[in-house]
């Protein structure tokens, strides 16, 4: 459980808030509400009118789209410290384009649009931060479209693993993923079965080794070459 003094710190270290003057920060933070979301609960439905954006303080949140037939596509997985739906602040009739569901028990901070926009209006630097933020997000989306159209499932999986490699305490490379595999599969736009088969293939080829929800990288160089 987060201390009452804990969550403003999470907000403070978010890069959209990092450089604010103390009283500007204070004015926005006053209106922020902490929301506890149990694992599996959908706390934002696509199509709802939006009057706030969110910062994830603890846990993990998936953003997804649904087809008419119920098919789900996980657009993004939001880790603690990251935000989502900021882009809606600047839309004419803001409506959430995606649904947000907690994957693990989570704590999210709800930042209402009005005070945040008011703060932006009087802080040029924060405006530019926000522009840079949206711009970076656009860039990520372009890469996503590139991956979907020019790469196959195997390449997408490899790129995903490489994007998550970190170094283990013992010095071995590990791709750390805290999410269930069907969520990862949807994030990569493939079926769980395909995900499973590809993991098996890469394992048989000696490039990786599954380890619970993580993947040990056995041959980083070869993985990068593919």
Partner DNA sequence: ACGCCGTCTTGATGCATATCAAGGGCAACG
Partner DNA sequence: CGTTGCCCTTGATATGCATCAAGACGGCGT
Query: How many residues line the site for a second copy (CB under 8 A)?
Result: 39
Residue numbers 1-40 binding a second copy by CB under 8 A: none
**With contact defined as beta carbons under 8 Å apart, do 99 and 66 qualify?**
yes
SS3 content of the chain, % helix, strand, coil (to 5): 40, 25, 35
Which of a second copy, DNA, none does residue 18 bind to, with CB < 5 to 8 Å depending on kind?
Answer: none
Coil, helix or strand at residue 219: coil
From the CB of 134, what's the least distance to a second copy, in Å?
A: 4
**With contact defined as beta carbons under 8 Å apart, do 60 and 5 qualify?**
no
Nearer to a second copy among residue 27 and residue 36 (C-beta) = 27
Determine phi and psi for 30, rounding to 5 degrees: -55, -35
The mark string for 152-191 relative to a second copy (x by CB under 8 A, - otherwise) is -------------------------------------x--
Cβ neighbours, 10 Å, residue 209: 15
Footprint on this chain of a second copy (rule: CB under 8 A): 65-67, 71, 73, 75, 87-92, 97-98, 120-121, 124, 127-128, 130-132, 134-139, 141-146, 148-151, 189
């Amino acid at each position: 459980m987060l201390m009452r003094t804990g969550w403003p710190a999470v907000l403070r270290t978010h890069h959209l808030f990092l450089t604010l003057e103390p009283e500007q920060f204070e004015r926005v933070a006053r209106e922020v509400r902490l929301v506890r979301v149990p694992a599996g609960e959908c706390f934002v439905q696509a199509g709802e009118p939006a009057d706030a954006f969110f910062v994830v303080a603890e846990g993990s949140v998936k953003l997804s789209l649904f087809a008419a037939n119920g098919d789900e596509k996980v657009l993004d997985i939001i880790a603690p410290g990251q935000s989502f739906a900021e882009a809606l602040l600047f839309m004419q009739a803001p409506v959430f384009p995606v649904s947000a569901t907690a994957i693990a028990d989570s704590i999210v901070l709800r930042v209402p649009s009005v005070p945040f926009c008011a703060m932006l209006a009087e802080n040029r630097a924060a405006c530019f931060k926000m522009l840079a933020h949206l711009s970076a997000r656009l860039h990520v989306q372009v890469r996503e479209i590139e991956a979907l159209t020019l790469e196959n499932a195997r390449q997408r999986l490899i790129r995903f693993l490489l994007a998550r490699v970190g170094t283990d305490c013992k010095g071995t490379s590990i791709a750390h993923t805290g999410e269930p595999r069907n969520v990862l599969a949807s994030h990569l736009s493939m079926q769980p079965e395909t995900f499973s088969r590809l993991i098996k293939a890469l394992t048989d080829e000696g490039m990786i080794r599954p380890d619970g929800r993580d993947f040990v990288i056995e041959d980083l160089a070869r993985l990068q070459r593919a």
